[in-house]
Structure 1
């Protein structure tokens, strides 16, 4: 490793100006304690120590309608809090979805949030790309049963599919003893002191920050070859029409 490489690995990067949004998909309404929030808090502390502005939502506290449209109040629902929450998501460079594991899978609240995110995925940004391009996604999970990797795969696949950039090792979490054992914040659980979980949370958080910083420095996610507007206008880079072969 050269001297410049060593310096780049030890000097703290400048992440100021970045914004992060955490959506806690616990089943528990505020102010009930949330074990998922305990894991989120550790990641948030790293973000804030690096000058990142952090916004947080506990999804179950809001009247989020079911559906896959940007505003379900226009599609039969009397009320829908999601449009206002989506504005806060779009204001962030980084989105972290936190949730609990039930029956080895993501919670119903997590699935609803992902469905509502999906409902905006067809909207285009100013460059003619899909709206979530240029944003970075990750996830945090808690539980005392198996399923962490399965839940992470589902969330991260969904985020990248709708346009988020997913960095290396963009997930972390804590699983207690499999079965009805202590949860993350329970006394004696060992969760907050667990070195493996803390390392993964730290790595995930910094990987999100590095990726968001690189995209910001590039002026957004590069637009060549992925603009829906250009494709619809007939510009198909490197895609020859088979009729002329």
Structure 2
């Protein structure tokens, strides 16, 4: 078996965005689960930056800078700059009414605003990066919420590794939350295993992509398609 010392992730960067509804300094159960993944990455040399989205004046919308579309202020462009400088993005949040939080929805909408921007190879901006998600709650909905987040990230251009989500839910109903005394959340072996697997898979795939120079640019460059290149495309209906 490969030793942990054989892995070098020291030039990787990760951004964690906590989509809790609670502003700082209120206790965030989501933050408690995030810390497991963050600390594992940091232990192996990954530079980690984290945001609690609700602490920032993130405007609603689907454009890179909403001050150009009627808003007086918008903190998103500064956050997006950090996201684009990162190899790994983890979106984390609570489950409400079986769905992602309104803050999670807003963050995904703002990520979407930059998805049509291009990288140096002419691909969409988020190509060559990996994404995952973490979820907490005391009701059902982990898989539904993860499906939404991970589908959104891959649609925007992120590469999604296997086992790229993890979560914790207590008993259905108004039971204890993840960090509450006696919840069993931090000790839950299923959650800890999945969070660990997710973290390693994110690091491994980010390492592979970075070493390979990202996703190969053949077959996915919009400007080349618009100029007439078809990348071996053939419609069998019109042969």
In the alignment, the residues of structure 1 paired with residue 9 and residue 79 of structure 2 have an alpha-carbon distance, to the nearest angstrom, of 24
Deviations 1:156-181 (A, max 9, x none): 00000010000001000111111101
In the alignment, the residues of structure 1 paired with residue 23 and residue 61 of structure 2 have an alpha-carbon distance, to the nearest angstrom, of 21
Aligned equivalent of 1:154: 148
Match status 1:53 vs 2:43: no
Question: What is the CA-CA distance between 1:19 and the residue it aligns to?
Answer: 0.3
Aligned equivalent of 1:232: 226
Match status 1:93 vs 2:93: no
Aligned equivalent of 2:118: 124
Question: What is the CA-CA distance between 1:12 and the residue it aligns to?
Answer: 3.7
Aligned equivalent of 1:3: none
In the alignment, the residues of structure 2 paired with residue 72 and residue 10 of structure 1 have an alpha-carbon distance, to the nearest angstrom, of 44
SS in 2 for 1:96: strand
Alignment of structure 1 residues 62-141 onto 2, 5 Å = 62-141=56-135
> Structure 1 pair 244/219, CA: closer, same or farther in 2 (3 Å)?
same
Report the TM-score when normalising by structure 1.
Answer: 0.94
- Residue of structure 2 aligned with 1:165, choices 159, 167, 181: 159
Match status 1:39 vs 2:38: no
In the alignment, the residues of structure 1 paired with residue 28 and residue 234 of structure 2 have an alpha-carbon distance, to the nearest angstrom, of 53
SS in 2 for 1:140: strand
Deviations 1:185-234 (A, max 9, x none): 00000000111110000000000000000001101111111111211121
In the alignment, the residues of structure 1 paired with residue 203 and residue 185 of structure 2 have an alpha-carbon distance, to the nearest angstrom, of 24
In the alignment, the residues of structure 1 paired with residue 138 and residue 51 of structure 2 have an alpha-carbon distance, to the nearest angstrom, of 23
Aligned equivalent of 2:183: 189
Aligned length: 239
In the alignment, the residues of structure 2 paired with residue 43 and residue 244 of structure 1 have an alpha-carbon distance, to the nearest angstrom, of 50
Q: Pairwise CA RMSD of aligned residues?
A: 1.4
Residue ranges of structure 1 left out of the alignment (5+ in a row): 1-5
Moved over 2 A (4+): 8-12, 240-245
Question: What is the CA-CA distance between 1:9 and the residue it aligns to?
Answer: 7.0
Match status 1:218 vs 2:212: yes
- Residue of structure 2 aligned with 1:16, choices 10, 13, 38: 10
